[in-house]
């Protein structure tokens, strides 16, 4: 049996309860590994509860929000588990964000504490946050060396302060956490460009990703390289949480580099490695591939609206994956809605996103909310246990996304084939995906519009052979202003996450508009194509 829990009734009630269960079931196996460090499953509860004790000492109450701004590391997992065991709600922050972007989410979530990486990829995260720190943020806990500044404390000192709280008190708090309590608040943008916090409960994630464990064939002892960032559901829930459910070893990888990944696969005997199509394409096209030892690889999971069938074939033949499958999900359903059967043909796995996970419904609805038959395109709608609790402190947006019949309207366009597999054919929401990251034009346009030389700007996705899609910005300059593409791109890189920065800039005298005087992006894309 690949799944640890045979039925939803067998599942632990919460993520901390899962940790205690896994410690008993998988004692002796490695739970977390990175260079020079290893945590056994049997010892994981102690590491988790050390964080919980520190948070109780800091006065954290059940339901409080805590932000986590760091790359994939052992500490990320331990901190997340510790705060969840304290009954707090995890608020992950994208490591690509600038200070103002992170501060906005910290402020709107009401996070009392933020765990912040001292340095990553040349960025000083505490300094970035300090310049725009919300007044509601009580404490910044620095992962690494800490400057002696007001409101900051080094992680080692923060944990040490928790010794005044007993282990029994921390265990009691963890025992109070139920399946219906919020486990995380993942912020996702919408068509308005304003990030919205998706409220999700412990029991929802455990049930959905227990099915994921079963379908992909994960077994205890698997070694799972997680390149997908932990701040995203692909790295968090389809990543380290999946490992805890199935008894696999979590191998955090802070960033993708093909040669580094080749080395880790060989050295750490990696068996499972999910990622966006761009990850596998980069590996396949790398000159070091022919010399890489990838013999341990067994399972790959990817996802995109369309994947060339030849990519699935090459992943099997050249990278050595016995199991290759694709899935579809969005933050509002916990990150997992449908998944292909790994035994399906390469064409089915490449061209569809499979069937809904057990216990959930999928329908293609027209503009009147009526189901459409197989082959007809409409909005992809989902219903079931995996639909979010709603958007944090945003009832209006929640009502716009979840209708009176409990259907979650995804904003994506698709159809079902005769076998019930989902084909994604477009997006109602004006969104494009750059290397696995969702990009929302309204948010990027708002940022670019702050440039003093720009009068008007429209952003949309254009095809890219490596990233899948990249942003294209069509810009109308203010009269008398001067600006070139390189200067605008450099300006944008200083103010927004790299994946949001347009790769192409086109200067135009005006932008086409429709009868409502809104920019007609379809006409604009046709104009550029011509």
User: Do residue 88 and residue 172 come from a single domain?
Assistant: yes
Residue 367, domain CATH = 3.40.50.12780
**404, 427, 450 — which closes off a domain?**
427
Q: Is the pLDDT of residue 192 over 80?
A: no
Q: What is the average pLDDT score of the chain?
A: 92
CA atoms within 13 A on the CB side of 506: 17
Whole-structure pTM value = 0.84
Residue 111 lies in a domain: yes
The whole-number average pLDDT for the span 118-138 is 94
User: Do residue 164 and residue 268 come from a single domain?
Assistant: no
Rg (Cα) of the chain, in Å, rounded?
23
CA atoms within 13 A on the CB side of 285: 10
User: Do residue 279 and residue 190 come from a single domain?
Assistant: no
**Adjacent-strand bridge partners of 152:** 140
User: Do residue 423 and residue 487 come from a single domain?
Assistant: no
**Each residue's pLDDT tens digit, 246-262:** 999 999 999 989 999 99
CA–CA dist 449, 456 (Å, integer) = 7
**Each residue's pLDDT tens digit, 35-79:** 889 999 999 999 999 999 999 999 999 999 999 999 999 999 999
User: Do residue 20 and residue 136 come from a single domain?
Assistant: yes
H or E element, residue 246: helix 242-246
**156, 182, 200 — which closes off a domain?**
200
User: Do residue 54 and residue 159 come from a single domain?
Assistant: yes
Q: How confident is the model at residue 521 (pLDDT cuts 50, 70, 90)?
A: confident
Q: What is the domain count for the chain?
A: 3
- Helix runs in 6-98, H state only: 15-25, 44-57, 74-85
Residue 123 lies in a domain: yes
User: Do residue 377 and residue 482 come from a single domain?
Assistant: no
Least reliable range by pLDDT among 95-99, 322-326, 373-377, 524-528: 524-528
For position 328, what pLDDT does the model report? 93
Q: Is the pLDDT of residue 508 over 50?
A: yes
Residue 2 lies in a domain: no
For position 306, what pLDDT does the model report? 59
Residue 378 lies in a domain: yes
Q: Is the pLDDT of residue 155 over 50?
A: yes
Per DSSP, which regions of 243-372 are E strands?
Answer: 249-252, 299-302, 323-328, 338-339, 355-356, 360-365
User: Do residue 287 and residue 399 come from a single domain?
Assistant: yes
Instruction: Identify the top-confidence range among 193-197, 245-249, 514-518.
Output: 245-249
Axis-axis angle for helices 15-25, 74-85 (nearest 10) = 120
Q: How confident is the model at residue 527 (pLDDT cuts 50, 70, 90)?
A: confident
**427, 462, 484 — which closes off a domain?**
427
The residue count of the chain comes to 530
Of 16 and 467, the structure prediction assigns the larger pLDDT to 16
**Each residue's pLDDT tens digit, 432-466:** 889 888 787 777 887 898 898 987 888 989 988 88
User: Do residue 353 and residue 474 come from a single domain?
Assistant: no
Residue 347 lies in a domain: yes
Cα→Cα distances 461→302, 377, 505, Å:
20, 21, 12
User: Do residue 128 and residue 35 come from a single domain?
Assistant: yes
Residue 449, domain CATH = 3.30.300.30
| Structural domain that includes position 405 | 256-427
**Each residue's pLDDT tens digit, 341-354:** 998 888 899 889 99
User: Do residue 178 and residue 287 come from a single domain?
Assistant: no
For position 293, what pLDDT does the model report? 97
Label residue 51 exposed, middle or buried (CB < 10 Å: 0-12, 13-18, 19+).
buried
Give percent helix, percent strand, percent coil of the chain, each to the nearest 5: 35, 25, 40
Q: Is the pLDDT of residue 275 over 60?
A: yes
Q: Is the pLDDT of residue 514 over 80?
A: no
CB atoms within 10 A of CB 465: 8
Least reliable range by pLDDT among 67-81, 99-113, 178-192, 368-382: 178-192
Q: How confident is the model at residue 304 (pLDDT cuts 50, 70, 90)?
A: low
């Amino acid at each position: 049996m690949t799944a640890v829990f045979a039925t939803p009734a067998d599942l632990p009630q919460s993520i901390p309860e899962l940790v205690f269960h896994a410690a008993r079931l998988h004692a002796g196996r490695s739970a977390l590994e990175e260079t020079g460090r290893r945590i056994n499953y049997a010892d994981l509860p102690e590491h988790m509860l050390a964080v919980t004790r520190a948070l109780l000492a800091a006065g954290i109450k059940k339901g409080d929000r805590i932000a986590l701004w760091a790359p994939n590391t052992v500490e990320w997992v331990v901190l997340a588990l510790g705060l969840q065991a304290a009954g707090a709600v995890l608020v992950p922050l994208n490591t690509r964000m600038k200070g103002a972007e992170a501060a906005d989410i910290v402020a709107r979530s009401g996070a009392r504490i933020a765990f912040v990486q001292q340095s990553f990829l040349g960025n000083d995260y505490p300094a970035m946050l300090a310049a725009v720190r919300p007044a509601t943020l009580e404490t910044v806990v620095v992962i690494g060396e800490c400057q002696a500044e007001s409101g900051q404390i080094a992680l080692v000192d923060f944990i040490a302060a928790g010794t005044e709280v007993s282990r029994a008190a921390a265990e009691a708090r963890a025992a109070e956490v139920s399946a219906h309590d919020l486990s995380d608040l993942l912020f996702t943008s919408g068509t308005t460009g304003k990030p919205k916090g998706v409220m999700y409960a412990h029991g929802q994630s455990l049930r959905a990703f227990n099915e994921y464990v079963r379908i992909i064939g994960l077994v205890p002892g698997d070694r799972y390289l997680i390149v997908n960032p932990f701040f995203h559901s692909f790295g968090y829930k389809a990543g380290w949480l999946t490992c805890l459910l199935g008894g696999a070893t979590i191998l955090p990888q802070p960033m993708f580099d093909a040669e580094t990944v080749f080395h880790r696969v060989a050295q750490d005997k990696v068996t499972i490695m999910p990622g966006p199509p761009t990850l596998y394409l980069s590996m396949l096209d790398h000159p070091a591939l022919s010399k890489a030892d990838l013999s341990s690889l067994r399972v790959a999971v990817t996802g995109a609206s369309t994947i060339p069938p030849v990519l699935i074939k090459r992943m099997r033949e050249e990278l050595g994956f016995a199991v290759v499958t694709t899935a579809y999900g969005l933050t509002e359903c916990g990150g997992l809605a449908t998944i292909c059967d790994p035994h399906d043909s390469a064409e089915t796995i490449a061209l569809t996103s499979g069937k809904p996970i057990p216990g959930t419904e999928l329908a293609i609805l027209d503009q009147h909310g009526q189901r459409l038959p197989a082959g007809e395109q409409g909005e992809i709608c989902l219903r079931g246990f995996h639909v979010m609790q709603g958007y944090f402190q945003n009832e209006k947006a929640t009502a716009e996304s979840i209708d009176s019949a409990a259907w979650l309207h995804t904003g994506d366009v698709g159809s079902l084939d005769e076998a019930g597999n989902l084909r994604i054919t477009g997006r109602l929401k004006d969104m494009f995906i750059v290397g696995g990251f969702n990009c929302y034009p309204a948010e990027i346009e708002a940022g670019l519009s702050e440039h003093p030389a720009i009068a008007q700007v429209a952003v949309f996705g254009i095809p890219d052979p490596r990233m899948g899609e990249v942003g294209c910005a069509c810009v109308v300059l203010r009269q008398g202003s001067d600006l070139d593409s390189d200067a605008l791109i450099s300006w944008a890189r200083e103010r927004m996450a790299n994946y949001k920065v347009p790769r192409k800039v086109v200067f135009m005298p005006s932008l086409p508009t429709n009868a409502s005087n809104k920019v007609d992006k379809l006409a604009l894309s046709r104009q550029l194509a011509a």
